[in-house]
A = this chain, B = another copy of it.
Amino acid sequence: MAQEKLNIIPFGGLGEIGKNMMALAYGSDIMIIDAGLMFPNEEMFGVDFLIPDISYLLAKKENIKGMIITHGHEDHIGALPYILPQLDCPVYTAEFTGKLLSSGFKQRRMKDKSKLNIVSHGDKIRLGSFTVEFFPVCHSIPDTTGLIIDTPLGIIVHSGDFKIDYTPIIDKPTDLSRLAQLGGKGVLLLLSDSTYVELSGYTPSEKVVSDVLGNIIAGASGRVIITTFASLISRVQQVIDAAAKHNRRVFITGRSMKEIGRVALESGYLVAPQGIFCQSDELRYLAHNQIVILATGSQGEPTSALVRIANGDHDQVQIVPGDTVVISATPIPGNEALINKTIDSLFRQGAYVVYDKLAQIHVHGHGSREELKLLLTLVKPKFFIPIHGEYRHLSLHAKLAEDLGMAKDNAFVLQDGDILELGREKGEIVGKTPLKDIYVVGSRTYALDSAVFRDRKQLSQDGVVVVVTVIDVKEGKLVRKPDILSRGFVDTKDGQRLIKQSQEVVVAGLKNAPKCLSDPDAVDAKVKTLLANFFYKRTHRHPIIIPITVEA
């Protein structure tokens, strides 16, 4: 019977599989997990980010019972403003994530606020054939949620982004007893976070960072400037606690840090002693050993507070010798160069900078190998789908499950778009839904073809040369010397001479091929060949040549 099968489909189409969006289907019922954005790779010139292609879901729109958002990071919520208006389904999420979504919806003047439903951990919601229980897991943003999904075929456990932290700062520890209890009853399928499967051992507790931060602040004779992810509320709490303990006031700078801090304070996720925060004018008369500055910029973002400080461009904070800067984060892959540049600039200005390589001032938000083994062992699933990782991570996580005794055929390494059909006894990939890359640039979405990126790559390396040739078709002759302009090709000085010579090349070349002068297309082709050869011979480069022939 067809409805005795579950379908599991990861969307996304770039990099990490099953992270940004997934769908589960049973019979005609569909539920969606997350709606995140993806970051472009280095070939995708000029793209801000990508969102999942939901054509598959749009075709079955009336079957969608709801969407669950596991936590408030951009790679899980960032596509919602683009996708929700199209899918038009109810959204379920925990309180803090809901507050971030509401705040984002408000900024965008979105009307879909009413679709938002707040669910408490431990509560169950019904989505057609699925009953979904939210359970708390530890991650690097408050209220992160794992899912226990009761289906007609059995229980599915979805780990969310998780680590196991016995001493978290603000959230509850991951509910291991609940998972063990489920494991005892029998779990059909586990979907588990593979992000840090490459790391052996356990991810250290958030608590470790408290001690290190406390020691740095206690030992600093001057100001301490700390940057972290704005959404890492537990870290912000640790900074506030350490500042309070060492009689320092806290100044917050950077838009997102202020905004998320405000939301977290109002909703009680962040707790601050009366009077701990100070204003910018107070920075001038407070003693330097009474100041902690919390700033955005942990990823070296060019317009962030810390980068403006590092470049001497910040209105309120200038580095003075004696300042200690703490980068309480690790680089997200691809951001290393920006962060290193920021650290170098801070050192140049006389600050001492403490970063991840020098002290444990950050811990990951995802479980390492031993935690992944613990989850697999407690939940004891019959089937396993590693999610949240690039292909190598999923492969390693599947192998880990096999090492723990799972049958090789019961662990599925999927790729985005794969349709896995799962029964009670076996699963197989039965199809693939085609996924296009959907690019977002300046808040608009585009489907760009590969020719555009190919051109952008060539333009970025060798620039462009435009040639306008005016011909008299009837007389079959050049009316005047061609106009030749270039951008991004050669240096202005060398360029002028080269461009002048290239005019002569075109004139001489056309003189030797008088026949083509009666046909603008032939002139275009001839001019392109002449100049491509000339420029390559002279510069070893291949600028994009745009010939335009005008009939006088």
Contact = CB atoms under 8 A, between A and B. Distances in A.
A443 B483 CA distance: 30
Contact of A395 (B199, B347, B444): B347
A487 B459 contact: yes
A366 to B, nearest CB: 14
A392 interface: yes
A334 B337 contact: yes
A347 B460 contact: no
Contacts of A451: 492
Given A198-B357, A334-B337, A459-B464, A544 B452 contact: no
Interface stretch (A40-48, A177-185, A423-431): A40-48
A457 B455 contact: no
Interface string A395-415: 110010000000000000000
Given A461-B456, A464-B459, A491-B447, A198 B540 contact: no
A6 B239 CA distance: 48
A494 to B, nearest CB: 8
A449 B343 contact: no
A470 interface: yes
A175 to B, nearest CB: 30
A494 B392 CA distance: 37
A442 interface: yes
Contacts of A447: 491
A278 interface: no
A336 interface: yes
A251 interface: no
Interface residues of A, number: 66
Contacts of A492: 449, 451
Interface in A487-509: 487-492, 494
Contacts of A2: none
Interface string A274-294: 000000000000000000000
B491 A460 contact: no
A462 interface: yes
B548 A452 contact: no
A15 to B, nearest CB: 9
Number of copies: 2
Interface in A450-490: 451-453, 455-464, 466, 468, 470, 483, 485, 487-490
A392 B353 contact: yes
Contacts of A110: none
A466 B546 contact: yes
Contact of A348 (B391, B457, B540): B391
A539 B439 CA distance: 12
A4 interface: no
A140 to B, nearest CB: 20
A333 interface: yes
A539 B464 contact: no
A88 interface: no
A488 B343 CA distance: 35
A392 B485 CA distance: 43
A448 interface: yes
In the A-B complex, list the 3 residue pairs whose CB atoms are closest, starting with the nearest. A460-B460, A442-B540, A46-B461
Interface of A: 41-42, 45-46, 198-199, 333-334, 336-337, 340, 343-344, 347-348, 352-353, 357-358, 390-392, 395-396, 399, 441-444, 446-449, 451-453, 455-464, 466, 468, 470, 483, 485, 487-492, 494, 539-541, 544, 546, 548, 550, 552
24 contacts: A41-B337, A46-B461, A46-B462, A199-B357, A336-B336, A343-B392, A344-B390, A348-B391, A358-B396, A441-B541, A442-B540, A442-B541, A446-B491, A449-B491, A449-B492, A452-B489, A456-B463, A464-B546, A466-B466, A470-B550, A483-B550, A487-B546, A488-B544, A548-B548
